[in-house]
Every structure is written in structure tokens, then in C-alpha cells.
Amino acid sequence: MKRLIRIIFLACCVRPLVSLLLGRCIKGREHLPVSGPAIIVANHNSHLDILYLITLMPLKALALLRPVAAADYFCSTPSTSWLSSTFLGIIPLERKRSSFHADPLAGPAAALEQGEIVIIFPEGTRGAPEELGQIKPGVAHLAKRFPAVPVVPVFMRNLGRSLPRGSFVLVPFCGKAAVAEPRCFSGDTREFTTELATTMQQLEDQVDSVSS
């Protein structure tokens, strides 16, 4: 039932509204996964990032999307936890471990085992508008557990201008995105993290050429 509610909400509410306000200008759309398991890695400048990524995805993939988001924002109360899980498929991530043995990647790993598409923002938090922050190694550690699962880098532009951190007023700028070819774990977490960072920087250079 949750999955059906999510499909209806994303297809009938999120996609049309976000498309109307921000558009859907994208380069490399063919690289977006239509089935899982898969990992999407994207830059993070705004709370709009999840909604915009959902808008870019093929309709057949909507039921599989599982964005990873900070538990203190999206699951701070039982009601917000239910809403974010039911309507957006949020996987809550505790930014501080509850214990030494806690596994921060347990949620994303379980989703991948179920054949879903996990969306991760590897900078860890929203950065300054239109600036790419440091890529952290969490994605590499997740990819190491699932070396055959494709990792798809995505860079988005103008969402940090439309709704920057700390703002509650949406200003409609034309959203743009560039998607790189999928890649799988290279065998070394540090090397894979560096490779992702380089690819994200290349996408940042390319995204401004995306036609609006």
C-alpha cells in the first residue's frame, strides 16, 4: 500500500508541480536507471534536490526510489517519519551513531538488497548555493558491499538558488542536471571516492551547457 501511495503522489503531484516551477533540463538522461538495484549520487544544495531528482527519473522507476536523508530533518517525530517514508520513500540516516556498533549504511544496504534505487548525497549536508562540497567516502563503502551495483553520478544546478539553506521562499529558477555514465566499485574506497569527486566536478562544468 505504501508503494502505491508513493507512486500516485510522485507521479501525479511531485512531477507535474516541480516540472512547472523548475522545468526538466537534463543532459545524459539515458544514464538514469530504470530498475534496481542502483545507486544515484548527487550534489546537495537544497531541500528541492530530492524532489527534482524524482522529477527527472523515468516513471517506471518511481516505485523503486529511496532517497537517503538526515533523520533529524525528515524523521524527527513519528508523524514526519511516517509522511517522509510513505510519500517519498525516505531512508533515515542518523548523522551521529547511536552506538559504536551501529551501521549507518544498514538502511541503504537493505534497500539495495531489495532491488531498489538508492539516492545518496555524498557531501553529507547541504552546501553553499551552486558550490560542490567535499565528497565523503560513505558511497564508496556502500559500493564496496555491492560491487556489481551501478553508481550513477548526477550534478544539479540552480536548486540552491531556488531554495537555499535557511530559506522558506521558493524562487523559480530553471533547474538543470547532467548525468554521467554508470560505474561500479573500482576495488579501492579511496580511489573510488576520488573518481566520484572528479566526475562530479566534470559534470559541474558541463551542466551550464544544458539547454533550457
Q: 28: pLDDT confidence band, cut at 50, 70 and 90?
A: very high
Say which residue, 84 or 100, is predicted with more confidence: 84
Paired strand residues for 179: 154
Domains of the chain, by residue range, sit at 2-207
User: Residue 153, SS3?
Assistant: strand
Start-to-end Cα distance in the chain: 37
Which residue in this structure is represented by grid cell 535557511?
166
Separation CA 23–CA 212 (nearest Å): 8
In the prediction, which pLDDT does 144 show?
Answer: 96
Task: State phi, psi for 138 to the nearest 5 degrees.
Answer: -55, -40
Say which residue, 164 or 88, is predicted with more confidence: 88
Residues of the chain above pLDDT 90, percent: 42
C-alpha cell at 74: 525528515
pLDDT digits (tens, 9 = 90+) for 115-169: 999 999 988 765 666 778 788 999 999 999 999 999 999 999 888 777 766 666 6
Residues 36-50, mean pLDDT to the nearest whole number: 90
Name the CATH architecture for the domain at 2-207. 3-Layer(aba) Sandwich (3.40)
Count CB-CB contacts under 10 A for residue 184.
Answer: 14
The pTM is what?
A: 0.89
